[in-house]
Structures are given as structure tokens and as C-alpha cells.
Amino acid sequence: MGEAASKESEARKIPVYIMGKRYEVPEALTIMKAVEYAGYQYIRGAGCRGGICGACATVYRREGDYKIYAGLACQTVVEPGMHLTQIPFYPALRAPYDYAGIEPKAEVIAELYPELFRCVACNACTKICPMDVQVLDYVSALKRGDIAAAAEISFDCIQCGLCASRCFGEIPQYHIAQLARRLWGGKLKPRSPHLAEMVENIEAGKYNDAVASLMAMNVDELKKAYTQREMEPAMSDEKWTPTNREGLLG
């Protein structure tokens, strides 16, 4: 028996209930791995496996606990006696709009999503959010007409839809927040002069030679260039700038 196989056989098994059926799974697995261990194959409800894409929203109850909990299957570790099921998709209406043609105004958001004002501030949306986004706070910001605040507060939203699943007011919060971020990022936020300068430089061919020399490298040379590149220190109080700001290959 290989080392990995013997470790698996040593792992303590715990009972979990997946869509009502009991399975014994190793205790350290995430819900996603436990579901696969139990013999299911994901064809929906899994994407990045890293807590980013929002595809794996899961609801569960703990043994003997009346409350319903939620989490991401790829990030939440199984517990003994957990009853769980995954929500591969949560149907919530997304208002149709032509992004290029709409004005970045709070009134536009209110017209597209009048249900925003059905919010009774119960906070169930915030309590269920697996990313700890303060959902009620951004909904309140949008009711006040503050698109910038809504975009900022909802920045970590991964569109799993769990907020909408718990909403008394039947509000598709995550779709509305996405529109706020689009309007803020694309139409309201001041342009970065650095970005404009960089685009200008690229279009003027300033980096053509550097790109050509990268393209001419073999894989080992590329790896060496990558690992030996000048990097910003992970922890530093000093204001850092690269010594070579002219080319890609510092």
C-alpha cells in the first residue's frame, strides 16, 4: 500500500448526510472532496475549487442544531452528523440593460431594480454570506443612492446567490451589487493616469523589444527570468519602486 493510501486508511471517518443519504468520509475533507469521496461527480456546482468563483454554495445543518448554515463546498470542512446539500445555481432575476447606454446614476439602479426598496433590513442576507460581505450595508447604501459605497462594500461578492435565497423581500442582491460595481468601475471612478500612460507606451511600441526577447526564450530561460525578476518585498514600510522602470526584464 502506498504512503498516500495508508494515510487515507488511517484518517478517522465521520458520518455525513449528503442529500439525505448517510456516508462515512475522512474527517479532514472539505464538503466538495467529501461529496466526491462518496462517489458523486461534479458536473455543476464546482468551478475554481479555491473560494473565488461562487459556484459551490452549500447549505447544511449541524447535528442537533435547528439553524441552517451555509458555506462554500470547496472551503468548508465536514463535521460529524452534518446534513448538507449543494445549490448549483440559485435562480434570481437579473434586470436586462445595455451597459454602454445606461447612465451611472442611483436612479437608474432603482428603476432597474425597484425591489431594492422592499428590503426590511432583517440582515438575513449578511448572516448567510460565506464571504462575510456586509450585504445589508450595501443594500442600504444603494437605497441612499451611494453607488461608490455599494461597490466598495460588495467587492468580495462571488455571486453565489445565497443572499437572495434568504431574502424576505425577494431581492437579487448580488445582481444589483454587480451593476453598482460595473457602474462605479467603468463609468464613475476617476481614471488612473498610470494606466493611461502605460497603455500609451504599449501602443507606441515601448515594450516591443522586451516582449520579443521573452518570446524567444525557451521554457527554462523563461522560468529563470521569472524567478530572478525584481520583486516588491512582501513586507515593507518603505515606499518601493523597481530600479528599472523602462523594460519588462529588469
Interface ranges with ligand FES (CB under 6 A): 46-49, 51-56, 72-74
* Residue with Cβ nearer ligand FES (154 or 183): 154
> Is there a contact between 248 and 210 (Cβ–Cβ < 8 Å)?
yes
* Residue with Cβ nearer ligand FES (47 or 104): 47
CB of 199 to ligand FES, least distance (A): 31
* Residue with Cβ nearer ligand FES (52 or 249): 52
Strand-pairing partners, residue 7, are none
Residue closest to 61 by CA, chosen among 101, 17, 30, 23:
17
* Residue with Cβ nearer ligand FES (76 or 119): 76
CB of 95 to ligand FES, least distance (A): 25
> Is there a contact between 152 and 208 (Cβ–Cβ < 8 Å)?
no
- Maximal C-alpha separation, the chain: 66
CB of 69 to ligand FES, least distance (A): 16
In the block, cell 450595508 appears at: 137
Sign of CA dihedral 50, 52, 58, 62: positive
Collect all residues with Cβ–Cβ distance below 8 Å to 48 and sequence separation of at least 6: 55, 74
* Residue with Cβ nearer ligand FES (45 or 172): 45
CB of 194 to ligand FES, least distance (A): 31
Q: What is the 3-state secondary structure (H, E, C) of 94-115?
A: CCCCCHHHCCCCHHHHHHHCHH
CB of 157 to ligand FES, least distance (A): 12
Collect all residues with Cβ–Cβ distance below 8 Å to 202 and sequence separation of at least 6: none
CB of 86 to ligand FES, least distance (A): 10
The CA distance from 80 to 214, in Å, is 52
* Residue with Cβ nearer ligand FES (87 or 180): 87
The CA distance from 219 to 42, in Å, is 34
